[in-house]
Amino acid sequence: MHPLVSALEGRLIVSCQAYPGEPMRDPGTMAQVAASVERGGAAAVRAQGLEDIRQVKEAVDVPVIGIWKDGGEGVFITPTLDHCLAVIDAGADVLALDGTSRPRPDGRTFAETVAAVRERFSGPIMADCDSLESALAAAEAGAEIVGTTLAGYTDARPRTEGPDLELLSELAVALPATSVLVAEGRVHTPAQAAACADAGAFAVVVGTAITHPTTITSWFRDAVES
């Protein structure tokens, strides 16, 4: 197991992202957020966009999981080989990309993309998956980290209210020892994070509930005004 991966066992990863057009959609701001969550105990951070990755990398000592979202439909999380190589060149310690079986913009399969990346990058690869089938295929293709990031965001599985604990439990049993299981997606409370760990997650990613004040504010607003 890669040392960067083994260091994440039983730990929290925080995704530091802001959506386009939001006040916090600024690489410097995201770097400050990343430094803050590191101080709070995050074992790694996930950053989106090339300049965000560069500035977050300078701001923290923990590993940076890099992605590049390009587009809004279909495969848009680090969707092509060119995107992958740009994320690596920006300084990401871990490359994360869409790990589903959907068609990719450059025509490559996930396995073909991973094989090409391996010619340039020896660090861990994280597959953002949506189902048992895509997760197992990603592991077979060589992804050291398999995340449930896209479960409920494609047609592969229904969207659950919180994290997809059923999928986590299935993957905890089915994944080969060469890959570790990371829970990601709709983990909104400490209790849900603990439930992910109990379901067999090697590590847990939390994003919105820690780093997205617009959404967090709306939760409290709805509670107060209902």
Q: Read off the pLDDT of residues 38-50 as tens digits, 9 standing for 90 and up.
A: 999 999 999 999 9
**For residue 156, what pLDDT is reported?**
98
Section 53-77 average pLDDT: 97
* Confidence class for position 72, pLDDT limits 50, 70, 90: confident
**For residue 182, what pLDDT is reported?**
99
* Confidence class for position 51, pLDDT limits 50, 70, 90: very high
Per-residue model confidence as pLDDT tens digits over 5-39: 999 999 999 999 998 899 999 999 999 999 999 99
Q: What is the largest CA-CA distance in the chain?
A: 55
Task: Tell me the one-letter amino acid at 175.
Answer: L
Section 87-107 average pLDDT: 98
**For residue 115, what pLDDT is reported?**
98
Q: Indicate the pTM of the whole model.
A: 0.98
Per-residue model confidence as pLDDT tens digits over 111-139: 999 999 999 999 999 999 999 999 999 99
Task: Tell me the one-letter amino acid at 198.
Answer: D
State the Cα–Cα distance between residues 124 and 138, nearest whole angstrom.
13
Section 209-215 average pLDDT: 97
